Amino acid sequence: MIIIDIKIKFVDDLVRCVNLSSLLELSGWPKPGNVHRTINFEDTRFEHFLAGITAIQPNFREFCEKIYNSIENNKLNLNTIELGLFFKKSAKEMMRWQSGGNVLLGHILVLAPLVSAAAICMKTNKKKIEDFQLILKKIIEETTVKDTLNLYDAIKICSPGGLGRIEKYDIYGENSYNEIMQDGITLKRIFELSKNYDLISNEYSSGFNIILKEGLPYFIDTFKSFKDINIAIVNTYLKLLSNHLDTLIIRKASKQDALAVSKAASDILSHGGISTKKGLNLTISFDKALHEENGKLNPGTTADLVAGIIFCALIFGLKF
């Protein structure tokens, strides 16, 4: 798989890629354990995700335009990005427009820095994936303490399940905000502190290695092999799940449960994933089994990473 350069040229196209990446991830069938086009959770429906995705598109447009217009003479001013503020604004709109709870915070966290890097690459005419990775790393490194405080506000707005509690900087701790300010805990630092128990935090601390170096090549190769976007989405989801324990399952259930889910995903891939009749039947059965646990075994963090992979594939020119 060879990725040449970023193909999109306009902010409108960037926003389209954001929207489509969330819609395609949501629609992947049958992504085991997730809400998808044929199955809902008890209190969260497919339509709630559609509403959430629609609700945050104006936020993404404003975000993209702000970053794109802030660059003059190819000079980067990363202080204007304000990732945390974007998280907070988007979380408010996502929750305001539907009643299914936190449906998209993971997408927001994953897509925001990727979108930021893409906007900068477009404006500065730096289109190689190496440029994209370098700019992405700089964006994360230049995050601030204010970004962290706004992230905490965004999380509280969404009230996500399965967060767990930690001794210091706990999201619901009485003194956490003061501790963050006193210790100068930037967004980059808070994600480094949580990287061992959260896959999205691990992406921030590693320069999005799972998405860019593992998931993206596999996704594009799979699409080229089968010319089927749904197979590419679901098999990539299974691939990530087979390689990495889903941290949402660990927090909601247990590490042993997460290991069992990863092993099942690996077994399905050994039969070709959903590209074969047997693999598809195994995936459907696996999906039903996970849903019997009423969301406790939902690999939601893995799904969030898949949204980031789809976004990157789209900006680098994938058509389906």
Give the pLDDT score at 4: 77
Give the pLDDT score at 40: 96
Query: 11-315: what fold?
Result: Triphosphoribosyl-dephospho-CoA protein (1.10.4200)
- Cis (ω within 30 of 0) for the bond into 30? yes
In this prediction, residue 129 has a pLDDT band, given cuts at 50, 70 and 90, of very high
Q: What are 80-90's pLDDT values in tens digits?
A: 899 999 999 99
Q: What are 279-314's pLDDT values in tens digits?
A: 999 999 999 999 999 899 999 999 999 999 999 999
The type of residue at 242 is: S
Distance CA 61, CA 80 (A): 15
Length of the chain, in residues: 320
Q: What are 13-66's pLDDT values in tens digits?
A: 999 999 999 999 999 999 999 999 999 999 999 999 999 999 999 999 999 999
Beta strands in 115-242 (DSSP E): none
**42 burial level (CB within 10 Å; 0-12, 13-18, 19+):** exposed
Distance CA 301, CA 99 (A): 21
Query: Up-side HSE of residue 38: CA atoms within 13 Å toward CB?
Result: 10
Radius of gyration of the chain (CA): 19
What are the residue ranges spanned by the domains of the chain?
11-315
Angle at 240 between CA 42 and CA 17, to 5 degrees: 80
